[in-house]
Every structure is written in structure tokens, then in C-alpha cells.
């Protein structure tokens, strides 16, 4: 359960997570948060440290290329609690495979770039 003593504004959460206010609202609509966002008397969103921690995980997963539907599914599984760890593991293993393939492709690209840099350094150094 979220820490009810902590109340962070959407601006504070945007600053801490690197997400825009627009993205935070979008993530809320898309079911990316594990708990409903509370509101104050004026209807302004109030976030918790738990929300910031969860959003940080989501930012990292998204930066690694995990599609939003997969993050939403992961959120659903985590929110549901114990008993679905096998599905969480499958989801993470599938994503790990995608990330591993991306790293291999980037490594091949970097090897070519390094080769080309060496060629041009040799030409200009001669």
C-alpha cells in the first residue's frame, strides 16, 4: 500500500522521474501505476514515494525498449499480488532477450564505427 504520509505534486514527480506532466497523466490513464493516484480537495493529483519508485522502474523498462502494453501487463501482474510470478518471469525473460539482441546489434554497429574512425585517423595522421 502506498505511503499515505507522503504527498508529492505532479510537478515534483515529473522532476524526480524525468517524465513530463503530460506523460504522468497519460501513464495514469493507461494503467501504468500500481495504485490509484489520490487527489486533494482541489482535485490535484497527489503521488507517493511508492509511485515515484514504481515510475522509476517503468522509466527504465521503457528506456530499454519495453513496449507500453508489456509495461501495463507487468503493472497488472504486480498489482494482482503473489501467485503470478511465473508470468512475470516469462515477461521479463522475453524482454531480456529483446534487450540482449539490441545490445548485440549495437555492438556490431560500434565495431564498424570504431573501424571507420581508425581508417580516417590513419588517413589524417599520415
Is there a contact between 51 and 33 (Cβ–Cβ < 8 Å)? Answer: yes
pLDDT tens digits, residue range 44-102?
999 999 999 999 999 999 999 999 999 999 999 999 999 999 999 999 999 999 999 99
Each residue's pLDDT tens digit, 105-123? 999 999 999 999 999 999 9
Q: Mark out the alpha helices in 2-84 (DSSP H runs).
A: 10-17, 21-29, 49-63, 68-80
- Specify the pTM: 0.85
Domain borders along the chain are: 10-125
No. of H helices and E strands in the chain? 5, 2
Helix (H) / strand (E) element for 39: namely strand 38-39
- Topology, domain 10-125: Multidrug-efflux Transporter Regulator; Chain: A; Domain 2 (1.10.1660)
Q: What is the pLDDT of residue 4?
A: 53
Contact call for residues 43 and 30 (beta carbons, < 8 A): no
Amino acid at each position: 500500500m502506498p505511503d499515505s504520509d507522503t504527498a508529492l505534486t505532479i510537478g515534483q514527480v515529473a522532476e524526480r522521474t524525468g517524465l513530463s506532466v503530460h506523460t504522468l497523466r497519460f501513464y495514469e490513464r493507461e494503467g501504468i501505476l500500481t495504485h490509484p493516484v489520490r487527489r486533494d480537495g482541489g482535485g490535484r493529483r497527489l503521488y507517493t514515494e511508492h509511485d515515484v519508485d514504481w515510475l522509476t522502474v517503468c522509466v527504465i523498462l521503457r528506456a530499454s525498449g519495453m513496449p507500453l502494453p508489456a509495461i501495463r501487463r507487468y503493472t497488472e501482474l504486480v498489482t494482482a499480488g503473489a501467485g503470478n510470478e511465473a508470468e512475470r518471469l516469462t515477461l521479463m525473460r522475453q524482454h531480456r532477450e529483446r534487450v540482449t539482441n539490441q545490445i548485440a546489434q549495437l555492438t556490431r554497429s560500434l565495431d564498424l564505427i570504431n573501424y571507420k574512425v581508425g581508417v580516417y585517423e590513419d588517413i589524417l595522421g599520415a
